[in-house]
Amino acid sequence: MSDVGLDDTNPPTAGTAGTTPTNRGWLFDAVNELYSFTVRVPTNWKGDGDILLDLDCVLPSGQVTGEDIAWTMDWVAYASGEDATKTSTNVTSATEISGTTTAGTMYRCTLNFDYDDSDNPITAGDILVGEIHLTTIASVASVVVAGASMRYTANNAG
């Protein structure tokens, strides 16, 4: 994740969590901190299943069972020549903390791009624009996003 997607008004800040080697990334510690990104849907995407965004999140402090890392993502999908300002789709995700953790514990949080969403149907080659932020800080007050990846089912055509 680069600094290109940082919100002008309320960006997450650079943060670290864990010990040597330290996990470095974007520290989200308020619900109004926004990060946006753009990716192209791979041409080898099978086309009949959701695309997943995995966020590798590191906890800067210890947590207890039952607390959640809660994310919200607004997104649009569009093809070349299509309006990029169309109605966005909103999704949320909550990853529950299991057991008592210490600072530096990593969790993978997943957000879903619904391939057949009525406002934003996805086809191979489309551009996905997403914006993420913490939904709440009532449970887990802060998290460092140390990495992100997309998951999808590929066809054999590659």
- Best CATH choice for the domain 3-151 from the list 1.20.58, 2.60.40, 3.30.1890, 2.60.120: 2.60.120
Parse the chain into domains and list their residue ranges. Answer: 3-151
Yes or no: say if 138 and 67 are a contact pair by the CB < 8 Å rule.
Answer: no
Decide if 74 contacts 89 (C-beta within 8 A): yes
Identity at 107, one-letter amino acid code: Y
**pTM for the complete prediction?**
0.90
List pLDDT tens digits, range 10-51: 999 998 877 777 778 999 999 999 999 999 999 999 999 999
The torsion defined by the Cα of 81, 84, 85 and 89, in degrees rounded to 10, comes to 130
- Summarised one tens digit per residue, pLDDT across range 127-150 is 999 999 999 988 898 999 999 999
Write out the H or E segment, with its range, that includes residue 58. strand 51-58
Helix-strand-coil split of the chain, %, nearest 5: 0, 45, 55
